[in-house]
């Protein structure tokens, strides 16, 4: 039996092989450039084995392009009690070549039945032909074997009946639960597909290039509602009281954007200027927290429609807060899913920072409705075309719609965050190879997001806002409902530019997207002459290290430099395309500052007296430099210390002007570095330095700490500064801070949690309160009861600052159990515990000892797993710790588990070790002279 089957399959392949070579190839869609099945068939010996032992007719991870999907009819019937679902689908496919098999993605699904109809079969109502199905789980693929080969250019209909489990975890079609005010636990079912999990919910061509239309039907009980990408057309009543909702057919889109949800949520709705119905959904008791999101999404939708000059193409847009969510949010077309804390706003417990976050996430996912949904990257190597743009559009849209949130200033942090990563050798180019699902997941990192956004911001600054906008409109219009790659973006931009300028943009942007790392521009001034030199900036590798030279080879950027001088406010521009260059200043000046407003993605080092001249200016009158320039100087100075290019005392001297600093942005940057050093000393128990640093911080920043009020007044930056300063003061045991927080905490407990504490100091008050057993236990009780995600986050953080290991262990146990502390919050909990000097060893040991459990919960490449790994290790700064971490990673690699984050963590720890070796004595002496 097995033998005859095998023979049949071989005949099928050989038949295919012949026709594939003999028939000329007809290319229907020029966008498809994936491996074709011909390639495979030339290597007949290379069949992997399917689960039943038969040869599986495809060996690539990417699907063949011989049959492409046009339309899916999908019916799903989940049972929220037994937690399984039955489903069926009919996929209309176009045969682009003669083929005898169709390869689809499918993961953890049980295929019951598969049949094939040709158009002729349907026309004459002929029965379908039953298909043999082979399964190859290693590639998450199934093969449908067609009895007679499909004819090129004809359409076919593949019908599949299948079933599966409503998954645990956060991927595919999964279960989420929530607690009502009355204490009842309710279950809902929700999808999350990006990047490669649609295949867990229905067999499909699960690659972004295979765009199709989807007609979705969902069966549900009457106590539930069903939502999907499109509005509901009708509901049919079935036998036994079941209801079947039919949704309108979608526009042409990728599988990862499909979504459906069965729940019992409530909503608020409004209509955008162009008539789109926008609704915000949340569990019934959280309905009151949805209003801000509605206001923001309506405003942002209006903004994007006019900014892109393209209307949102669907009749409705739902935004829904899911109680269990792996990422922060997901941009499913027409049905955007959010973690509760990324969508809901509770005026009583959400801080200024929380409001900024919610607005940013809404802006980000709405931007994806164009960047990502309307125009999609061809393959995941270019995920930055989705994520970098969405992150960049947060800046553009918030500047226009919520200028009072002052996100423009905060954007600098977006770039500073990625510079940390990109200045390690373990970084990667924005556009990078990705093959396996894990590698694809790993592409969703700060390089794709933040660096993508930062180089777009740099390009906008270079081209002008108007030209840049025209370029992206052209790109969006040209590639609507299609896919694009890196180069298509630059061509679209270039089209609108003058001759010469177009090539300049293309060449320039290639150096930022195809090459990893960040450049260092070294400036040396001799009179009016500026000598410029570019290098690859590497933190943790010094110029005198033997490895340095080899790490520099073949790196060259086209850097759109900007600079201003002490003589005028004019912004000068120059593109540095070579390793060295010389510039002549129009007039003599006392200082030169490069990278105006920190819009460029590069670090600047001023050789000779350059830094001294700038420090002198900051001390004399810092307002002659722009706030973002002052912030950039602080950033660059401390980065240069990490690279061994500037001495720590010089960078510390630069912060001495901060006492007079009026910009919260600059103040927070300087304070941030000092705080970082304090925590490093505290963790390592280098108590003489940590004590002196503590005294220095409290003494030096006393005037600004003491003027902070304990309320929510002021601009967003006033409020963020307040939160940071008071957190620091209480962290450092500053008596007035502890007294005030203790007082507020007691009043709060006495009021049985009813007292409204100002939101910006809430976390501080809880953290101080958590230091007693009574306070800690009370907070945990409130955690169980709270209906506000914003408050729960603050309580959990406070609980994690307790200095007792048993309490910290208790939290980890609750997080592992997933009932009181949800699994979705476990990664940030472990990260928070690892920040606590009393918890760092505990968290790290826990991760090592429970690796298999954690892996099962989150999956190797997930956001959570990467946060757990880096959050519990990258602060280490000793050789022993480095060795421990290395051993652990080696043991994982030996099991075939590999992540880029391993190397990033190892390089980060090495960098910390080196920093301490070089700078600890300097820090010690510098402080001694000042305390």
- Chain residues binding Zn ion by CB under 5 A are 387, 390
153 sits in the region (left: phi over 0; alpha: psi -120 to 50; else beta) called left
Q: Which of residues 206, 354, 365, 488 is near ligand BES by CB under 6 A? A: 365
Q: Quote the Cα angle for 543-450-415, to 5°.
A: 55
Determine if 368 is a binding residue for ligand BES (CB under 6 A).
Answer: yes
Query: Interacting stretch for ligand BES, rule CB under 6 A, among 104-112, 246-254, 363-371, 751-759?
Result: 363-371
Contact flag: residue 428 with ligand BES (CB under 6 A): no
Q: How far apart are CA 758 and CA 710, in angstroms?
A: 7
Q: Does 195 bind ligand BES (CB under 6 A)?
A: yes
Going across the sheet that includes 225-228, the strands are 172-179, 185-192, 260-263, 225-228
User: Smallest distance from the beta carbon of 192 to Zn ion, in angstroms?
Assistant: 13
- Residues in contact with ligand BES, shown as a per-residue x/- string from 370 to 389 under the rule CB under 6 A: -----------------x--
Q: Residue 135: beta bridge partners?
A: 142
Q: Is 504 in the site for ligand BES (CB under 6 A)?
A: no
**Residue 193 Cβ, how far from ligand BES at the closest point, in Å?**
8
Of 300, 371, 299, 359, nearest to 331 (Cα)? 371
How far apart, in whole angstroms, are the C-alpha atoms of residue 534 and residue 189? 53
Residue 398 or 762: the one with the smaller Cβ distance to ligand BES is 398
Does residue 417 interact with ligand BES by CB under 6 A? no
**Nearest to Zn ion by Cβ — which residue?**
390
- Indicate whether 329 belongs to the interface with ligand BES (CB under 6 A): yes
437: part of which helix (H) or strand (E)? Answer: helix 437-442
Sheet with strand 232-237: strands edge to edge: 129-130, 110-118, 155-165, 84-95, 67-79, 213-220, 243-247, 232-237
Residue 405 has, within 13 A of its CA and on its CB side, a CA count of: 24
Which one of 54, 89, 207, 365 is the catalytic residue? 365
Q: Residue 524: beta bridge partners?
A: 531
420 binds, among Zn ion, ligand BES, none (CB under 5 to 8 A by kind): none
Nearer to ligand BES, 384 or 701 (CB): 384
Q: Which stretch binds ligand BES (CB under 6 A): 62-70, 356-364, 492-500, 815-823?
A: 356-364
Using CA atoms, how far residue 155 sits from 94, 150, 379, 674, in Å, is 4, 9, 25, 66
| DSSP code per residue over 620-675 | HHGGGS-HHHHHHHHHHHHHHHHTTSS-HHHHHHHGGGGGG---HHHHHHHHHHHH
Q: Rounded to the nearest 10 degrees, how much is the dihedral formed by the CA atoms of 594, 596, 600, 603?
A: 40
* 194 binding ligand BES? (CB under 6 A): yes
Binding partner at 194 among Zn ion, ligand BES, none, C-beta below 5 to 8 Å by kind = ligand BES
We find the least distance from the C-beta atom of residue 208 to ligand BES, in angstroms, to be: 12
Helix (H, G, I), strand (E, B) or coil at 381: helix
Which of 247, 444, 678, 876 is close enough to bind ligand BES by CB under 6 A?
444
- Which residue's CB is nearer to ligand BES, number 94 or number 335? 335
Residue 8 C-beta: closest distance to ligand BES, Å: 40
Smallest distance from ligand BES to CB 75, Å? 26
Pairwise CA distance, residues 56 & 76, whole Å:
28
Task: Return the one option of ligand BES, Zn ion, none that residue 195 interacts with (CB less than 5 to 8 A, by type).
Answer: ligand BES
Active site residue 365: yes
Contact 263, 209 (CB under 8 A): no
485 touches, from ligand BES, Zn ion, none (C-beta below 5 to 8 Å by class):
none
Q: Choosing among ligand BES, Zn ion, none, which partner's interface includes residue 542 (Cβ < 5 to 8 Å by kind)?
A: none
CB of 268 to Zn ion, least distance (A): 24
* Minimum distance of ligand BES from residue 366's CB (angstroms): 10
Of the candidate residues 89, 171, 331, 378, the single one contacting ligand BES (CB under 6 A): 331
Can you read off the two tokens belonging to residue 151?
């004819």
Question: Whose CA is closest to 136, among 61, 233, 73?
Answer: 61
Are 13 and 100 in contact by the 8 Å Cβ rule? The answer is yes
Q: How far is the CB of 824 from ligand BES (least distance, A)?
A: 11
DSSP-assigned letter for residue 759: G
Nearer to ligand BES, 358 or 729 (CB): 358
Measured distance CA(129)–CA(778) in Å, rounded: 65
Using the rule CB under 6 A, give the single segment among 325-333, 590-598, 693-701, 879-887 that binds ligand BES: 325-333
> Minimum Å distance from CB 331 to ligand BES?
5
- Choice between 402 and 657, CB closer to ligand BES: 402
Using the minimum distance from each CB to Zn ion, give the nearer residue, 377 or 814.
377
> 97 or 387, CB closer to Zn ion?
387
Q: In angstroms, what is the minimal distance from the CB of 282 to ligand BES?
A: 18
CB of 389 vs ligand BES, minimal distance in Å:
11
Give the nearer residue to ligand BES in terms of CB position, either 356 or 489: 356
Least distance from ligand BES to the Cβ atom of residue 360, Å: 6
- The verdict on 825 binding ligand BES (CB under 6 A) reads no
Residues 6+ apart with CB under 8 A from 852: none
Residue 860, judged by CB atoms within 10 A of its CB (0-12, 13-18, 19+), counts as middle
CB 562 within 8 A of CB 594: yes
**Nearest residue (CB) to ligand BES, 195 versus 560:** 195
Q: What is the DSSP letter of 577?
A: -
The DSSP-derived string for 187-231 is EEEEEE-TTTTGGGTS-B--STT--BEEEEEEEE-TT-EEEESS-
Instruction: State the number of binding residues for ligand BES (CB under 6 A).
Output: 16
Q: Distance between CA atoms of 101 and 55, rounded to whole angstroms?
A: 12
Among Zn ion, ligand BES, none, partner that 330 touches (CB below 5 to 8 angstroms by kind):
ligand BES
By C-alpha distance, which of 441, 468, 474, 442 is closest to 455? Answer: 468
Comparing CB distances to Zn ion, the nearer of 366 and 868 is: 366
Nearer to ligand BES, 196 or 427 (CB): 196
Q: If binding is defined by CB under 6 A, does position 327 make contact with ligand BES?
A: yes
Task: Please choose which of ligand BES, Zn ion, none residue 923 contacts, taking the beta carbon within 5 to 8 angstroms, the exact cut-off set by kind.
Answer: none
Contact range with ligand BES by CB under 6 A, out of 112-120, 316-324, 362-370, 809-817: 362-370
Q: How far is 617 from 761, CA to CA, in rounded Å?
A: 35
Report d(CA 598, CA 633) in Å as an integer: 9
- Of 93, 258, 263, 361, the one binding ligand BES (CB under 6 A) is 361
User: Which sign does the torsion angle of CA 467, 362, 725, 871 carry?
Assistant: negative
Helices (H), 818-876: 826-835, 840-849, 851-858, 863-873
Of the candidate spans 181-189, 232-240, 364-372, 592-600, the one that interacts with ligand BES by CB under 6 A turns out to be 364-372
Q: Is 169 one of the binding residues for ligand BES (CB under 6 A)? A: no
| Residue 364 makes contact with ligand BES by CB under 6 A | yes
- Closest to ligand BES by CB, 402 or 611: 402
Residue choice 152, 330, 559, 764 for contact with ligand BES (CB under 6 A):
330
Which of ligand BES, Zn ion, none is residue 796 near (CB under 5 to 8 Å by kind)? none
Of 317 and 505, the one with the shorter C-beta distance to ligand BES is 317
Entry field: residues in the chain: 931
Contacts of ligand BES in 858-877 (CB under 6 A)? 863
Instruction: Identify the three-state secondary structure at position 3.
Output: helix
Catalytic residue annotation: 365
The residues of the shown chain that bind ligand BES, judged by CB under 6 A, are 194-195, 327-331, 360-361, 364-365, 368, 387, 390, 444, 863
């Amino acid at each position: 039996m097995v033998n005859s089957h095998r023979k049949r399959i071989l005949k099928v392949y050989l038949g295919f092989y012949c026709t594939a070579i003999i028939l000329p190839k007809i290319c229907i869609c020029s966008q498809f450039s994936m491996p074709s099945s011909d390639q495979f068939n030339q290597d007949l010996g290379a069949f992997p084995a399917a689960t039943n032992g038969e040869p599986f007719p495809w060996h690539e991870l990417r699907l063949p392009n011989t049959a492409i999907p046009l339309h899916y009819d999908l019916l799903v019937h989940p049972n929220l009690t037994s937690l399984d679902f039955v489903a069926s689908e009919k996929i209309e496919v176009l045969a682009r070549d003669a083929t005898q098999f169709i390869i689809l993605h499918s993961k953890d699904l049980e295929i019951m039945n598969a049949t094939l109809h040709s158009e002729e079969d349907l026309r004459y109502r002929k029965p379908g032909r039953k298909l043999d199905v082979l399964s190859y789980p290693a590639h998450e693929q199934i093969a449908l074997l067609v009895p007679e080969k499909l004819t090129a250019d004809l359409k076919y209909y593949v019908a599949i009946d299948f079933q599966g489990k409503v998954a645990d975890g956060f991927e595919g079609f999964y279960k989420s639960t929530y607690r009502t005010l009355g204490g009842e636990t309710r279950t809902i079912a929700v999808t999350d597909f990006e990047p490669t999990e649609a295949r867990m919910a229905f067999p499909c061509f699960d690659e972004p290039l295979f765009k199709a239309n989807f007609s979705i039907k969902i069966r549900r009980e009457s106590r539930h509602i069903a939502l999907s990408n499109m509005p509901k057309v009708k509901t049919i009543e079935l036998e036994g009281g079941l209801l079947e909702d039919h949704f309108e057919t979608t526009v042409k889109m990728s599988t990862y954007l499909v979504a459906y949800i069965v729940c019992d949520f409530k909503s608020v709705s409004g209509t955008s200027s162009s008539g789109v119905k926008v609704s915000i959904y949340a569990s019934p008791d959280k309905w009151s927290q949805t209003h801000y999101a509605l206001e923001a999404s309506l405003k942002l939708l209006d903004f994007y429609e006019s900014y892109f000059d393209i209307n949102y193409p669907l009749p409705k847009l739902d935004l829904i807060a899911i109680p269990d969510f792996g990422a922060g949010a997901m941009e499913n077309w027409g049905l955007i899913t959010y973690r509760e804390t990324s969508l809901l706003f509770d005026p009583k417990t959400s801080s200024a920072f929380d409001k900024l976050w919610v607005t940013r996430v809404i802006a980000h996912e709405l931007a994806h409705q164009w960047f990502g949904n309307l125009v999609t990257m061809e393959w995941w190597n270019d995920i930055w075309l989705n994520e970098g743009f969405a992150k960049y559009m947060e800046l553009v849209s918030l500047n226009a719609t919520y200028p009072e949130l002052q996100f423009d200033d905060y954007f600098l942090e977006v770039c500073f965050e990625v510079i940390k990563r990109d200045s390690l050798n373990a970084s990667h180019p924005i556009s990078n190879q990705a093959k396996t699902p894990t590698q694809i997941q790993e592409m969703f990192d700060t390089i794709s997001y933040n660096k993508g956004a930062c180089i777009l911001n740099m390009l906008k600054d270079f081209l002008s806002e108007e030209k840049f906008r025209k370029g992206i409109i052209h790109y969006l219009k040209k590639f609507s409902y299609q896919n694009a790659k890196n180069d298509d973006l630059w061509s679209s931009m270039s089209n609108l530019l003058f001759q010469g300028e177009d090539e300049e943009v293309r060449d320039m942007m290639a150096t930022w997207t195809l090459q990893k790392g960040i450049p260092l521009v070294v400036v040396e001034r001799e009179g009016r002459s500026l000598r410029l030199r570019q290098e690859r900036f590497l933190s943790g590798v010094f110029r005198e290290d033997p490895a340095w030279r080899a790490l520099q080879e073949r790196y060259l950027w086209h850097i759109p430099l900007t600079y201003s001088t002490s003589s005028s406010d004019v912004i000068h521009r120059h593109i540095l395309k070579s390793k060295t260059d010389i510039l002549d200043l129009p007039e003599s000046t006392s200082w030169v500052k490069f990278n105006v407003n920190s819009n460029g993605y590069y670090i600047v080092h001023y050789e000779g007296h350059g830094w001294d001249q700038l420090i002198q200016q900051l001390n004399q009158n810092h307002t002659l430099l722009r706030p973002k320039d002052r912030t950039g100087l602080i950033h660059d100075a401390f980065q240069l210390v990490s690279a061994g290019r500037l001495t720590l005392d010089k960078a510390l001297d630069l912060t001495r002007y901060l006492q007079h600093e009026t910009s919260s942005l600059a103040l927070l940057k300087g304070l941030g570095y000092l705080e970082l050093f304090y925590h490093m000393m505290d963790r390592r128990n280098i108590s003489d330095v940590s004590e002196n640093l503590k005294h220095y911080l409290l003494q030096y920043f006393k005037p600004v700490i003491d003027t902070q009020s304990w309320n929510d007044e002021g601009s967003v930056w006033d409020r963020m500064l307040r939160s940071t300063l008071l957190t620091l003061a209480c962290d450092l045991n500053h008596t007035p801070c502890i007294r005030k927080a203790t007082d507020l905490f007691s009043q709060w407990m006495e009021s049985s949690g009813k007292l409204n504490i100002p939101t910006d100091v809430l976390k501080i008050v809880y953290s101080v309160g958590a230091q007693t057993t009574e306070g800690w236990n009370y907070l945990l009780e409130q955690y169980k009861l709270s209906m506000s995600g914003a408050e729960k986050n603050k309580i959990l953080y406070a609980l994690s600052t307790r200095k007792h290991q048993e309490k910290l262990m208790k939290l980890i146990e609750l997080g592992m159990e997933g009932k009181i502390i949800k699994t979705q919050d476990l990664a940030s909990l472990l990260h928070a515990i690892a920040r606590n000097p009393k918890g760092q060893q505990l968290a790290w040991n826990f991760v090592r000892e429970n690796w298999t459990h954690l892996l099962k919960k989150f999956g190797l490449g997930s956001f959570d797993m990467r946060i757990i790994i880096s959050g519990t290790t990258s602060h280490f700064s000793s050789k022993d710790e480095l060795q421990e971490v290395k051993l652990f990673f080696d043991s994982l690699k030996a099991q075939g588990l590999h992540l880029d984050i391993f190397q990033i963590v190892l390089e980060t720890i090495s960098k910390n070790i080196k920093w301490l070796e070089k700078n600890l004595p300097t820090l010690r002496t510098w402080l001694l002279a000042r305390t």
